[in-house]
Amino acid sequence: MLRSSFLAFVSLLLFVFATFATPPDEPNTRIQKTLAVQAAMVRARVLLTEGKSSKAVEVLEEQLANVNGSGEYLTVLRDAYRAYIRDLYFAGQPEQARRFLDRLSIIDPSAASDKSLQPQQDTTPRKFDPPAPKEVKGPPLPAFKAMPPPLASKDSAPPIVPAKPGIVRAQADDAPAEDPFAAKYQRDAFSPALMVAPGSSALKGQELLARGVDEFRKERYAEARVCFEQAYQADPSTLNVCKAQWAYCIIKGVSDTMEQPGVLPARLPELRQQVETAIGMAPGNMMAVGQQLLTRLDERAKAGAVPVSAIKVKHWGQNKEGWHVTESAHFRIFHRKDNAYAERVAHIAEHTRATMYRKWFQSDGIEWQPICELILHPTAADYTHMTGVPSNSPGHSRIESDPSGRVIARRMDLRLDITTMLEAVLPHETTHVVLAGMFGNALVPRWADEGIAVLSEPDDKIEQHRRNLVKHHKDGLLFGLKQLMELKDYPHPRQIGAFYAQSVVLVEFLTQKRGPKTLTDFVNDGIRHGYETALQRHYGVTFTQLEEEWRTHVLDRAQRTAASK
C-alpha cells in the first residue's frame, strides 16, 4: 500500500513538474509525445526479455521529458533499472551500478536495502598460476558434485556463490540412461536375402527410381540419394538415366557435411572418395563443381577444418593436480594429451560456438564469464570416478545459475575413449552450452535442447534418429507434439529413444519450414506465452494443424522410406 502510494506521489510530482515547468503543448505535439512514450515502453519490455537491460534503460530515459506522470512508465523504468544494476555488478562495474541504484531509489526507496541489488560474490575467471619447473603431483581432483575447477589448488576453497542446482545435460536422473542407438532400435542392415525375387528386382528398382526423382524434384536431396542408392541395389541398370541427379545428391551431401563442426580432417578420405565417385558418375555435369569441392575440402583440412579467424590458444603447462591446461578465448581445456590435440579440441569448440550462435540466433554470441571449463577424461573409469555420471554416457555438460537464472559457470566433461568424440560429442555438448542462458532466466526446453544439439553432429548420426522414428512410431512410444514440447525433463528410459528421435526430427522439420532463427524465436515465445500462441505467431498454425502436417510430411514419408528398404 505504501509503495503504491509513493509511486502515485512520484507520478503526481512528475505531472506537476511537467505542467508548470513547460508551456502547454499543441494537441498534435502531445499525441506524438504520448505515442513516443508508449513505443519506448513496448520496446523496453522486449529488450528486457532479451536480456538487453542497458539498451532498455537507454530507450526509457530518452523519454523522461515526455512522461507526463505515467505510473506505467515508472514501473517499466524500475524493472529496467533493477535488471541493469544486476548486469553491471555481474560485469564488474560496481560504481556504475551504484549510480543507477541511486536513480532507482528515487522512484523505489526500498531498492536501497534490497540485497539482490547489492554487490554479489566475485565470479570472475580464476587465475592460473604456472607450475614450478619441477612437476608437483597433487591428490586426485575433488568429487564433481561440488563442481570444482581442475585449476584450483588443494589449499584453496571454491568461491561461495548462491546458485541453483546444477543443470546437467546428460540423461534422466531417475534411472540408468538407455542408449537410443541400442541394437533393439536399429533396422536390419541391407541384405540380399531381404530383396524381392530376382524376377521382380527391375520393377522394384523402377519404383525406387521414380520415388527418388520425385524427391529430387522437391529438392529433398538426402531422401533422393537414399532412393537412388536403393534403386541401384535392386537393379544396377536402373540409374543409367539418372546418374547426374544421383551425383548431384552426393555432391550436395558432402557440401552440407563440411559445414558440421569437427568433421574434418578425420573424414577427409571418405568425403574425397564420395566427390570423386560423383564426378565419375556424371563427369560432364559434375566435373567443375566437384573439383571446386575437392579444393575446398583440402583447404579446410589444412586449416584444421575450423574457419574461425584469429583463434589464439595458450598452453599453461601442467597444474598441481597433473592436468595440462590449454586456453582459448572461451574454453579452458584440461587434458593429458599433447598440445596439438588440445589445440584441435579448442578449434572445434570455438568453431562450434561461433557457428551455433550465428545459425540459431544470428548473433556473434555473448561473452562467457567465466569461460567454459572442458575436461577430457582418458577413460570411462576416469570419467565416472570424477563426475559420478554412469560410464555409458559419452560426455555431458553442466550449467550453474544464480537465483536470477543467470549462467555463472559452464563445464563440459568428455571421454577421450569415444571414437566420435571430436566429430559428434564435442559439437553436441558445446551446443548445449551455447543454448544455456539464451532464453532469459528459463531453462532450455529438453526437446529443443537435444534436437538442436544432435543437429550439430555428423549426418550419419542424425540419420539414425530419423530411422528410429519409424520404429518408435510403430511401437506407440511417440509423444503428442504439445506433450513433447511441454516436457520438463527427460522421459522414462523406456521412451528416451523415442524422445531423441522425435525431438531431432521435429527441430529439423520446423527449421526447414521457416529457418533456424524462427525456431529459437518460437521457443522463446513458447516459454513465456505458451506454445499454442507461439505456433500461431511464428508458423501460422495451431497444434491440431501442426500434428496433421507432422503426420503427413514426416511420419508417413518416413514410413514409406523405411518400407522401401
> How far lies 347's CA from each of 18, 183, 255, 316, 419, in Å?
58, 33, 20, 17, 18
pLDDT band at 50 (very low <50, low <70, confident <90, very high): low
Q: Which pLDDT value is given to residue 117?
A: 76
pLDDT band at 247 (very low <50, low <70, confident <90, very high): confident
Phi/psi for 426 (5° steps) reads: -60, -50
CA angle 143, 148, 149 (to 5 degrees): 130
Q: Which pLDDT value is given to residue 264?
A: 58
Q: Which pLDDT value is given to residue 36?
A: 79
Q: Using the Cα atoms of residue 267, residue 269, residue 274 and residue 278 in order, give the sign of their dihedral.
A: positive
Q: Which pLDDT value is given to residue 158?
A: 37
| Residue 499 burial (CB count, 10 A) | 25
What is the average per-residue pLDDT within 44-71?
79
Q: Which pLDDT value is given to residue 343?
A: 93
Domain(s) labelled CATH 1.25.40 in the chain stretch across 196-258+264-302
Q: What radius of gyration do the chain's Cα atoms show?
A: 28
Say if residues 410 and 433 touch (Cβ distance below 8 Å): yes
| Separation of alpha carbons 326 and 316, rounded Å | 6
Residue-wise pLDDT tens digits, 27-36? 667 777 777 7
CATH of 196-258+264-302, one of 3.40.1520, 1.25.40, 1.10.357, 1.10.1200: 1.25.40
What is the average per-residue pLDDT within 13-30?
50
Flag whether the pTM goes above 0.85: no
pLDDT band at 385 (very low <50, low <70, confident <90, very high): very high
For residue 409, the SS3 value is strand
| Separation of alpha carbons 308 and 13, rounded Å | 55
CA angle 259, 295, 273 (to 5 degrees): 80
- Greatest mean pLDDT among 20-29, 112-121, 127-136, 485-494 lies in 485-494
Four-CA torsion 508, 513, 517, 519, nearest 10 degrees: -60
Look at residues 444, 480, 263 and name the one whose alpha carbon lies nearest to residue 352. 263
